[in-house]
Structure 1
């Protein structure tokens, strides 16, 4: 559980730093157009910090880390998020500096999105294995019936 919290905290810090980077690089270069840097901050906070805080809550409820698939989800999702955000930052920085992007950046960003998708699929498979298929409608129904 501590690892999940640490990653949420890490993404919070990166989100704040990326917002600062966006503001400063555009100000230093007198850039007023559209750039992907404007959404890196949001991606890190939503897909990083908030997402892992939600996973932390799910871990508390369903012990997700006891599943062998959780490790696969965790590292594949993080790799996808890191690659996606890195390519957004690179592409946005090149835009601000007046340079064009290339196909390699688009290809890497696409791979990042694919890894994110695979990670999400693994999370849902893990959840499906950890959540019981049937639950009693009321906790009292799960207890032995009384003979009164």
Structure 2
């Protein structure tokens, strides 16, 4: 359970720092347009911190970590979120700096979304196995 709490805490810290980064880099470069940096903060706080706080409650109720799929879910989901957020940060920073972005960045971000989806499938499969059997 501590690992889940620490994960949520790390996402909270990185989420707040990413909001600071967005504010400062746009201010330093007098940038006023749209950029993906504006949503990195909310992605980290929602898909990271809040999501893992919910997983923590599910762990307390259903002992998710006892299932064999939990470890797979944990690492696949975190890899997907990290990859997605990293590519959003790179793309957003390039936008602010006026640098031409590569389609490869979008492709890698897409891979991150695929990993997030696989992670969610693993979580729901694990949760389904941990629920009590249906009666009546």
TM norm structure 1: 0.90
- The residue number in structure 1 matching 2:76 is 76
Given the alignment of the two structures, is residue 40 of structure 1 paired with residue 35 of structure 2, yes or no?
no
Highest CA radius of gyration, 1 or 2?
1
- The residue number in structure 1 matching 2:59 is 59
1: distance between equivalents of 2:111 and 2:45?
A: 21
1: distance between equivalents of 2:113 and 2:133?
A: 30
TM norm structure 2: 0.98
- The residue number in structure 2 matching 1:87 is 87
2: distance between equivalents of 1:39 and 1:51?
A: 16
Aligned pairs for 1:15-30 within 5 A: 15-30=15-30
Q: Matched residue of 1:43: which SS? A: helix
* Alpha-carbon shift at residue 133 of structure 1 (Å): 2.5
Structure 1 residues 135 and 6, CA gap change in structure 2 (3 angstroms): farther
Map Cα deviations across residues 90-142 of structure 1 (whole Å, 9 max, x no partner): 00000000012111101100000000000000000000000013258xxxxxx
1: distance between equivalents of 2:29 and 2:89?
A: 16
- The residue number in structure 1 matching 2:126 is 126
Aligned pairs for 1:100-115 within 5 A: 100-115=100-115
Question: Which has the larger share of helix?
Answer: 2
Any runs of at least 4 consecutive aligned residues in structure 1 with deviations exceeding 6 A, and if so which?
none
Structure 1 residues 123 and 11, CA gap change in structure 2 (3 angstroms): same
Question: Over aligned residue pairs, what C-alpha RMSD do you find?
Answer: 0.9
2: distance between equivalents of 1:120 and 1:53?
A: 15
Q: Matched residue of 2:133: which SS? A: coil
Q: How many residues end up aligned between the 2 structures?
A: 136
